[in-house]
C-alpha cells in the first residue's frame, strides 16, 4: 500500500513538473512571437499621428510598444501606447508659428535652413537624454518618420533595427537616401511643377532640379547629422547618408492610384494613408444632416492637416471661401484659431443665404463614415 501511495505521489509530482514546464514553454513561445518596438517623433502633427496609429496596431497584435516624443509635441494620450518625453528648447506650437508661417510667406529657402537647424537641435537633445536612451536599450525595433532623422542615429547608437515611415510620395528628397529608383525622364521632382509628360528641355530642367535638391539636402541636413555622429561617436566612419539607407523597410504612405508611376525596390512598400480608420462609424447628427441635404450635388471635405489649419492667413481663408462659394457641392471645412472668423459678407454674398459651408474648428471625423460616404468627393 505504501508503494502504491509513493508511486501516486511521484506521479503527481511528475505531472506538476510537466505542467509547469508546459506553461513555461507556452510563455516562452508567446514572448518569441511578440517584440519590443519603439516609435520616435520629432516634428509634425501628422507624423506623430501616423507613428502613434502604427504603434497602436502593433500593440493590438501583442507587441510591447512605446512612443518617444519631444516636449514641444502636442500629444494625445493613449492607453495602448505609453509616451516618453524628451525635453527640447521649443514650446508647443512652435512648428506652426515659426515653420509653417515661413511657407505661407514664401520664404522656402529660409524654411529649409530653419528645419535643418531645428532637427539638429532636437536630435542633440534626444542624444543627451540618457534616461530615454537607457530605456530604449534592448528594444527589437525602432519606427520613425522621415522628418525624425534622429531615429537613424538612435537606432545606430543602440544597434536597433529600423523601419522608416515616408509620409510623402516616393519622388520627394527623403527618398534619395534609400536609393529608390528616380528616372528623371518621367518622374517629376519637387517644386518643378512638371508632370510625367515632359519634353526634352523639361527633362533637362528636371535632372538639374534632382541634382540641385540632392546637394542642398546634403548641405543643410546630412552634414549637421554627420557632425553629431562624430560628436557622439556613433560609428563616425559611416556617413549619415549611408546609415539612413541601412533600414530594414521603408513604408511609403502614398497610393499608386494618385502618384506618378515610379519603380520601387523590394524594401519599399507603398501602403496608402495610415491615419484613416478602417471601421466605419456613423457621422454626428448635425454633420449627417448637413451632408445628406446636398440636392444631389454631394459634398467636399476640406482639411489642410494638423498644422496648416490653425495658421492660414486671413487673405487665403477669404480667397478659399470665395472659391467654395462657386461650387455646387456643400463644403465641410476644418479651420482652427482666428482663421475661423472669415469675411462673413463674402460668404453671405456668394452663398446667397444658402447654408452650403460648414466650418469646424476640430472634429474627430469618423473617416470610415465620411470619406467612404457615397456622396463625398
pLDDT greater than 70 at residue 98: no
Q: Which residue has the higher pLDDT, 47 or 32?
A: 47
Question: Exposure of 94 by Cβ count < 10 A (0-12 exposed, 13-18 middle, 19+ buried)?
Answer: middle
Four-residue CA torsion sign, 252, 254, 255, 259 = negative
Buried b (16+ CB within 10 A) or exposed e, 249-285: ebbbbbeeeebeebebeebbebeeebeeeeeeeebbe
Domain over 34-270 is classified CATH 3.20.20.70: no
Q: Which residue has the higher pLDDT, 140 or 308?
A: 140
For residue 228, give the nearest of 153, 278, 319, 151 by alpha carbon: 153
pLDDT band at residue 349 under the 50/70/90 scheme: very low
* The pLDDT value given to residue 336: 64
- Listed by start position, the domains of the chain span 34-270, 285-370
Identify the weakest region by mean pLDDT among 56-70, 157-171, 243-257, 290-304: 290-304
Instruction: Output the average pLDDT for the chain.
Output: 77
* The pLDDT value given to residue 68: 92
Identify the weakest region by mean pLDDT among 53-67, 134-148, 239-253, 360-374: 360-374
pLDDT mean over 29-49: 77
* The pLDDT value given to residue 75: 80
Per-residue pLDDT reduced to its tens digit, 167-193: 888 888 888 888 888 899 999 988 788
CA gap 192, 174 in Å, rounded: 16
- CA 41-262-300 angle, to 5 degrees, is 65
Amino acid at each position: 500500500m505504501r508503494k502504491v501511495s509513493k508511486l501516486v505521489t511521484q506521479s503527481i509530482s511528475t505531472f506538476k513538473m510537466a505542467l509547469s514546464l508546459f506553461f513555461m514553454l507556452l510563455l516562452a513561445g508567446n514572448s518569441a512571437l511578440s517584440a519590443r518596438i519603439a516609435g520616435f517623433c520629432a516634428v509634425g502633427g501628422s507624423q506623430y499621428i501616423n507613428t502613434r496609429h502604427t504603434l497602436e496596431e502593433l500593440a493590438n497584435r501583442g507587441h510591447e510598444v512605446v512612443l518617444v516624443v519631444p516636449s514641444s509635441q502636442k500629444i494625445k494620450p493613449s492607453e495602448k501606447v505609453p509616451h516618453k518625453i524628451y525635453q527640447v528648447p521649443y514650446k508647443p506650437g512652435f512648428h506652426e508659428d515659426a515653420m509653417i508661417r515661413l511657407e505661407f510667406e514664401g520664404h522656402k529657402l529660409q524654411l529649409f535652413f530653419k528645419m535643418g537647424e531645428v532637427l539638429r537641435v532636437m536630435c542633440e537633445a534626444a542624444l543627451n537624454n540618457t534616461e530615454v536612451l537607457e530605456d530604449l536599450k534592448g528594444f527589437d525595433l525602432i519606427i520613425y518618420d522621415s522628418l525624425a532623422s534622429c531615429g537613424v542615429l538612435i537606432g545606430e547608437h543602440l544597434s536597433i533595427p529600423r523601419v522608416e515611415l515616408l509620409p510623402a510620395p516616393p519622388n520627394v528628397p527623403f527618398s534619395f537616401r534609400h536609393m529608390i529608383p528616380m528616372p528623371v525622364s518621367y518622374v517629376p521632382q519637387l517644386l518643378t511643377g512638371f508632370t510625367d509628360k515632359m519634353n526634352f528641355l523639361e527633362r533637362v530642367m528636371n535632372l538639374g532640379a534632382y541634382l540641385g535638391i540632392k546637394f542642398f539636402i546634403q548641405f543643410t541636413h546630412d552634414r549637421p547629422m554627420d557632425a553629431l555622429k562624430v560628436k557622439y561617436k556613433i560609428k563616425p566612419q559611416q556617413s549619415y547618408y549611408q546609415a539612413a539607407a541601412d533600414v530594414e523597410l521603408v513604408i511609403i504612405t502614398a497610393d499608386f492610384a494618385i502618384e506618378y508611376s515610379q519603380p520601387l525596390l523590394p524594401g519599399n512598400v507603398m501602403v496608402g494613408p495610415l491615419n484613416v480608420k478602417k471601421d466605419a462609424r456613423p457621422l454626428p447628427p448635425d454633420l449627417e444632416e448637413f451632408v445628406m441635404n446636398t440636392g444631389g450635388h454631394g459634398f467636399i471635405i476640406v482639411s489642410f492637416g494638423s498644422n496648416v489649419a490653425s495658421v492660414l492667413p486671413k487673405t487665403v481663408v477669404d480667397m478659399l471661401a470665395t472659391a467654395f462659394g462657386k461650387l455646387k457641392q456643400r463644403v465641410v471645412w476644418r479651420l482652427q484659431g482666428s482663421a475661423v472668423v472669415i469675411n462673413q459678407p463674402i460668404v453671405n454674398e456668394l452663398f446667397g443665404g444658402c447654408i452650403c459651408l460648414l466650418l469646424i474648428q476640430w472634429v474627430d471625423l469618423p473617416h470610415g463614415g465620411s470619406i467612404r460616404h457615397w456622396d463625398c468627393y
